[in-house]
Chain A
Amino acid sequence: NAGVTQTPKFRVLKTGQSMTLLCAQDMNHEYMYWYRQDPGMGLRLIHYSVGEGTTAKGEVPDGYNVSRLKKQNFLLGLESAAPSQTSVYFCATVGRDRRGEQYFGPGTRLTVT
C-alpha cells in the first residue's frame, strides 16, 4: 500500500498561472483534507471532503478550489496563483471509524514568483 501520495513534490509557478495538486489514497478512507503550512502558522485547513462528490470550506479557502470526483482522489486547484500562495501543501485522510487519526502525504512545496 502506498498510503497517501501527493503529486507533484515541488513546483514553481509564475503569478497568474494555474495548477492542480493531486492527492491519492489507497486506504479507502472517507475523509480527505488539504492543508497549507507556513512558518509560525501551523497547518491551516483549506478545504476538506467527507465523501465522494462532497467538499467543504476550511479556514483559508480563498483562491483555491477542490474536487472529489473519485473517492481515492482529492484535487486542489489554484486558478490564478499569487505569491501569497507560496507554501507547503499537505493532504491528509481519515478513515470511516472517525477516530480522527490523520494519515498525511509527504507534502508539495509550491513557490509562486
Chain B
Amino acid sequence: AQSVTQPDIHITVSEGASLELRCNYSYGATPYLFWYVQSPGQGLQLLLKYFSGDTLVQGIKGFEAEFKRSQSSFNLRKPSVHWSDAAEYFCAVGAFYSSASKIIFGSGTRLSIRP
C-alpha cells in the first residue's frame, strides 16, 4: 500500500537560512510525487510535482525537490527562506489506474521562521 512519512512535525529556521523538509514514501512503482503548502485557515496550494524525467524539480516560490529512487525520498528544499514561508507543508504520493486512482498525504511539517 502507498504511504508517506514526513518525519519532522515542526521545524524552525531563521529567515535567510536554507531549508530542507524530508519526505519518504512507500510505493511499488514510480509514483507521482507532490509537495503542497497550506497557510493557516487556507486550502492547499501545489508547490511542485514529479512524474518522470529530471529528478530535480523546480516549483513556485523558489522551492525545489529532488526525487531519489534509491532512498524512496522526495525532499523539499529552499536556499533562503522568507518570513512568508511560514506554513504547513505536505508531501503526497499518487498512483493512477483506471480502477483505483488516489493520492495519499503525509502528516505534514509545520515550518516556523525565526526573525
Instruction: List residues of chain A with CB under 8 Å of any chain B CB.
Output: 31, 33, 35, 40-45, 48, 50, 56, 58-59, 90, 92, 94, 98-102, 104-107
Q: Which of B56-115 contact A (CB under 8 A)?
A: 90, 94, 96, 98-108
Instruction: List residues of chain B with CB under 8 Å of any chain A CB.
Output: 6, 9, 32, 34, 43-44, 46, 49, 51, 90, 94, 96, 98-108
The count of A-to-B residue pairs whose CB atoms sit within 8 angstroms is: 63
B95 to chain A, nearest CB (A): 9
| Smallest Cβ-Cβ distance to B106: which chain A residue | A42
Pairwise interchain contact B107-A40, C-beta atoms closer than 8 A: yes
Indicate which residue in B34, B100, B108 contacts A50 across the interface (CB closer than 8 Å).
B100
Pairwise interchain contact A90-B103, C-beta atoms closer than 8 A: no
